[in-house]
Amino acid sequence: MLNNEQIKDAKQRMDKTIEAFRNEIAKIRTGKATTALLDGIKVDYYGTMSPLNQVGNVAVLDAHTIGITPWDKSMVPIIEKAILSSGLGLNPLSDGTNIKIPIPPLTEERRKELVKLVKKFGEDAKIALRNVRRDANEHLKKQEKDKKITEDELKEAEKETQKLTDDHIAKIDEIIKHKEKEIMEV
């Protein structure tokens, strides 16, 4: 039966949507130190733009500090410059060999803005899930029209697709709730 393929494909696409959503909100600063904050920063390492974690050891030193130990000490000023120009609002401090990045606490107003942003990303992810559901249902209807599946099989597959969508939307709501709690925590 071909509709199982449709549902498997829809599930894979929905899982990818959730993964993309998780990656997107991981970059949102919560006032706590996390190495994910620096994931988007690249530095010029001997002519090649490389992610920070490929030019040194990036680690969380404590709840409010990230530490970077470059493998090549000459990279310290380059890494500092990249962090300053990243637009993350972080001010790296170096002792010539290591870089420490203090993570400033968030204001109440900024926390609320971040929660709104997380909810917006969540809504975008839900829209993506509904688009996957729509594509799957259109495909299933086409199969029924082409007499590849029966009307009963179509109804069953549509129910399964709806359940899959509901489960994934519930996951997104759970992730949003968790991130909101994390952001609002002082």
The first and second tokens of residue 85, run together, are 């120009």
Q: What tens digit of pLDDT does each residue of 104-146 get? A: 888 888 888 889 989 999 999 999 999 999 999 999 999 999 9
Section 92-103 average pLDDT: 91
Output the domain CATH number for residue 75: 3.30.1360.40
Q: What tens digit of pLDDT does each residue of 24-63 get? A: 888 777 777 788 888 888 998 888 999 988 999 999 998 8
Distance CA 73, CA 80 (A): 12
Rounded to the nearest 10°, the torsion over CA 118, 122, 125, 131 is: -150
Output the domain CATH number for residue 131: 1.10.132.20
Pick from 169, 183, 174: which is nearest to 116 by CA? 183
Largest CA distance in the chain: 72
Range of the domain at 66: 35-102
126 and 94 within one domain: no
pTM: 0.70
Total tally of structural domains belonging to the chain: 2
E-strand spans in 4-47? Answer: 42-45
93 and 46 within one domain: yes
